[in-house]
Structure 1
Amino acid sequence: MAPDCSVEGSIDAPIDTDGLRGKLTPQAPLAKLVWFKSGGKADWLFEPEDMEDLKEFLRRLDGQLPVMALGLGSNMIVRDGGVPGVVIKLGKPFADVSIDDETCIVDCGGGAHGILVASAARDCGVAGLEFMRGIPGTVGGFVRMNGGAYGREVSDVLIDCDVVMPGGAMHTLPASDLQYSYRHSALPQGAVVVRARFQGEPGDPEAIGATMDEIAEARENSQPLRTKTGGSTFKNPPGKKAWELVDAAGCRGLKMGGAQVSEKHTNFLINTGDATSADIEGLGEEVKRRVYENSGVELEWEIQRVGRP
């Protein structure tokens, strides 16, 4: 008999957890789960044991609390006041990748890392997904945000995805339903992406691997990967590059508290050690102000900012 859901501490759970098998944690620190290593706590953090466990948890919750899925936390600022409601963290049971050699369809769980998806496709001689080597996140995150890198994005290859809605129902949504635009989709708030299928094409594993190596080297050479960062901060405006606008506004190396604009790539903000999320977000807003004052271009955040200020 499977053990019931474990609930840490003495705080009453928001639902009856009898029969659930995942881990439900109240007042769960999120800083350790996001790349910036800053921010507050989740009211509740749920780590489901498997798909049925997740569906049953959300069925019981029945929309009573807001729900947010969390992947690698690589493109996110969790505000210092924490995240209301329930944060869903998908673990290993949602990180599998399988490939149909005949159709070149790559079927993967929402918790699978981009590098794992690209590497599995390479090993099977499936091309077209190399760009995922350059996306620091999980399938669920970059399906929601239309993640992209090095000239391609998810909307170019997504066939469909399975999502569990706040009430626990699961739906398969074709890519056309997501109404993709640059770093945006029409995926409903609170929907959790649990699987996705991507269309690849036949390719040579060595050539695919070489392209992936080039992407890895380009990221290493141009981005502050070995710092506490959150990836690209602002969307590239039409016909322009965000980093060039930030640089032209004199923001390279600009600091606010423990946050700093990267010297290596000016579209990256970094936590130099003890930055609060307020420092990081405040610095981003100051960069936006200076860029607008200098160029008349209003930058848009690419990084998700969630939670209470």
Structure 2
Amino acid sequence: MSARHACSPLEALLVDSAFDADVYPDEPMRRHTMYRIGGPARFYVQVGSIGALKRLVAACQECAIPWVAVGRGSNLLVSDEGFPGVVIALGRDFRACRFDEETCSFIVGAGVPLSSVVQEAFRRSLSGLEFAVGTPGTVGGAVRMNAGTREQGIADRVVSVTTLSPRSGLVRREAADIQWGYRSSSFAPDEVIVECELAVKPADPYLLRGKMEAAHARRKKTQPLTLPSCGSVFKNPEGSSAGQLIEQVGLKGERVGGAQISEVHANFIVNRDNATAQDVLELINMARSKVYEAYGIELQPEVRFLGFA
């Protein structure tokens, strides 16, 4: 490990055989984003426990090396140059999901795919998570961005969230102590969500199946699910649809390099053919400026950017 890569506390940790993590230097981020786009992270580290996460965050802070925690990279665009710091993924201990009969809730690690919690709820005939059918990210990512539909977000199901930050250590908050917005929450950028509790309720299994099948069919019909994308690129403006606005300014199907504004839904930019992050960024900027010129509406990105100046 060269000196240019890390200062000594971080360097020592990453080569320590007792460090409960898998460490990948210069790891291409295209392997870890649903876009299949992105240059190398200086280090990609999958931590197996809270102890390992604490040690890693502390070492990054001490060395003033930038770090970020990611889920499955479902709403992430990583620059072609990559990220000059540490990308943290949550492994083993963050991938447990148990159901508490007494409280009728799931206690879920932040690294669990949201889709698997939805399936487990369905298996147990429990409702409350049908809106999330087909949502591709992890529970941690879904909670941070209050993922959901126009009508419902995951915040509606959250009972509590446990986070780890360099300033406060481990903190458990009730849902009422968190500010929730449309595709947003009040978690600090350096707060890593590690676990949450989601409330559900018993339901008629046939009714539940019907609701889930309808949600899945709607998603299949209205979204370009066969090509890599980051999901919705922009938040819907108040009382309006980002996809409709982009379509109205004539950009549906527009291509730059290997990226394209989807012909199925204009609020999706798909990786058609080895797109670069720059290709996607050009389409994002084009959509923002054309919609602003035509309607005076500033589209706000829902996608997270990593490694850009």
TM over 0.5: yes
Aligned to 1:41: 40
8 Å contact kept, 2:260–2:270: yes
Among all aligned residue pairs of Structure 1 and Structure 2, give the percentage whose two residues are the same amino acid.
Answer: 33
Letter in 2 for 1:101: E
SS of residue matched to 2:42: strand
Q: Which residue of structure 1 lines up, in the alignment, with residue 182 of structure 2?
A: 182
TM-score, length-scaled by structure 1: 0.91
Structure 1 residues without counterparts, runs of 5 or longer: 1-6
Contact 2:24/2:44 (<8 A) preserved: yes
Distance in structure 1 (CA, Å) of the matches to 2:25 and 2:262: 35
Q: Which segments of 5 or more consecutive residues in structure 2 lack a partner in the other structure?
A: none
Pairing 1:155-304 to 2, within 5 Å after superposition: 155-166=155-166, 169-304=169-304
Counterpart of 2:133 in structure 1 is 133
- Going from structure 1 to structure 2, the CA distance change for 1:212 and 1:91 (only over 3 Å counts) comes to farther
Contact 2:60/2:67, CA 8 A, preserved across alignment: no
Measured after TM superposition, the shift of residue 150 of structure 1 is 5.9
Within-5 A mapping of 1:146-157: 146-149=146-149, 151-157=151-157
Q: Distance in 2 between matches of 1:208 and 1:242?
A: 30
Q: 1:80-134 deviations in whole A, cap 9, x for unaligned?
A: 1212321111134322211122321111010111111111112223211111224
Q: How many residues align?
A: 303
For each residue in 1:285-308, what CA deviation from the matched residue of structure 2 results, as whole angstroms up to 9, or x when unmatched? Answer: 101111112222221111111213
Contact 1:38/1:275, CA 8 A, preserved across alignment: yes
Distance in 2 (CA, whole Å) between partners of 1:188 and 1:293 is 33
Q: CA deviation at 1:55?
A: 2.3
Conservation of the 8 A alpha-carbon contact between 1:59 and 1:169 = no
User: For residues 105-120 of structure 1, what are the structure 2 equivalents within 5 Å?
Assistant: 105-120=105-120
Q: Residue 57 of structure 1: CA displacement?
A: 2.5
Q: Is the 8 A contact 2:259 2:270 kept in 1?
A: yes
State the 1:156 CA deviation: 1.0
- Residues 60 and 66, structure 2, Cα contact 8 Å, conserved in 1: no
Given the alignment, which residue of 8, 12, 18 partners 1:16?
Answer: 12
Letter in 2 for 1:114: L
Aligned-residue offset at 1:260: 0.7
Amino acid at match of 1:222: T
Q: Aligned-residue CA RMSD in angstroms?
A: 2.1
- Contact 1:48 / 1:89 at 8 angstroms: preserved in 2? yes
In the alignment, the residues of structure 1 paired with residue 68 and residue 210 of structure 2 have an alpha-carbon distance, to the nearest angstrom, of 36
How far the C-alpha of 1:269 sits from its partner, in A, is 0.2
Of the structure 1 ranges 54-63 and 197-206, higher mean CA displacement relative to structure 2 is found in: 54-63
Deviation at residue 61 of structure 1 after TM alignment: 3.4
Q: What CA deviation, in whole Å up to 9, does each residue of 1:4-61 have, x standing for no partner?
A: xxx89x9556242232121122221101111111111112111112222222322343
CA distance, structure 1, for counterparts of residue 306 and residue 146 of structure 2 = 18
Match of 1:4 in 2: none
Aligned AA (2:12): D
- In structure 2, distance between residues paired with 1:307 and 1:205: 45
